[in-house]
Amino acid sequence: MGAPGVGKGTQADLLNQRLGACHLSTGDVFRAAGSRGECEQSPAMQEAMGYMRRGELVPDSTVWEMVRERAECLRCGGGFILDGFPRTLGQAESLKQLLDQEKLALTAVVNYELPTSEIVERLSGRRTCEKCKAVFHVTQRPAKVEGLCDRCGGKLFQREDDLPESIKVRLEAYDRSTAPLIEFYQKAGLLVRVAAAGSPDEIFEITLTDLKSRRAAQLAA
């Protein structure tokens, strides 16, 4: 969890590379669906694209349908990382019901924290690979060859919701709908707070150490 642009996707990608866990990013799923031709998109998906462009949250029912279609991710042998989901109390409650049915439990909910000014800086400079979705930053994490992905050579692009008008709406949506989840997961004893200032590798090491010690404590209990 964490505000837009705090670095959730970057950390999920690093965790995924190290742990071999399934990485389910609802934002990536929506963007992939949006890159298909309009006639291949369901009316619910076309509507979802409008919400995304404006920086608003997609309705819970559409998000939940996308997640349920990918529920096999939860049974991945290397575990699973949910990135950008849940984002409302309704989504968190639906997720809990599904996990209970599957007899699965979350190890932790990591909440990344950063001042708003740095978040805006990260979002404005972000560039994403159109093929493999790897994430770069024009100054903080530049690609070796400008405009091309280090990993697969794909073209880098700027997300349309990274323009100033959408950033403002996304930050407001986060404060209104997603920040209350912090208390929800705190009460469930799952919350891990990580200060997201520092390099991606530094933040990754802090995250991994925390997750490992929680996992060891859960296995010992």
Question: What residues line the site for ligand AP5 (CB under 6 A)?
Answer: 2, 4-10, 26-27, 30, 51-52, 55-58, 63, 84-85, 87, 91, 122, 125-126, 135-137, 140-141, 161, 170, 198-200, 203
Q: Based on the residue annotation, tell me whether 126 is a catalytic residue of this protein.
A: yes
Closer residue to ligand AP5 in complex, CB, 103/110 = 110
Write out the two tokens for 85.
């989901």
Catalytic option among 8, 31, 122, 141: 8
Closer residue to ligand AP5 in complex, CB, 35/218 = 35
DSSP 149-192: -TTT-PBEE--GGGSHHHHHHHHHHIIIIITHHHHHHHHTT-EE
| Main-chain phi, psi angles of 11, to 5 degrees | -70, -40
User: Nearest distance from residue 185's CB to ligand AP5, in Å?
Assistant: 15
The residue nearest ligand AP5 at its CB is: 27
Q: Based on the residue annotation, tell me whether 87 is a catalytic residue of this protein.
A: yes
Spatial separation of the C-alpha atoms in residues 28 and 84, rounded to whole Å: 9
The number of residues in the chain equals: 221
Beta-strand pair 126-129/156-157: antiparallel
User: Nearest distance from residue 216's CB to ligand AP5, in Å?
Assistant: 26
Q: Based on the residue annotation, tell me whether 8 is a catalytic residue of this protein.
A: yes
Using DSSP's 3-state secondary structure scheme, residue 104 falls into coil
Catalytic option among 122, 133, 141, 170: 170
Task: Map tokens 């690609």 to a residue.
Answer: 143
Catalytic option among 53, 151, 159, 193: 159
User: Nearest distance from residue 179's CB to ligand AP5, in Å?
Assistant: 13
Residues serving a catalytic function are: 8, 87, 126, 159, 170
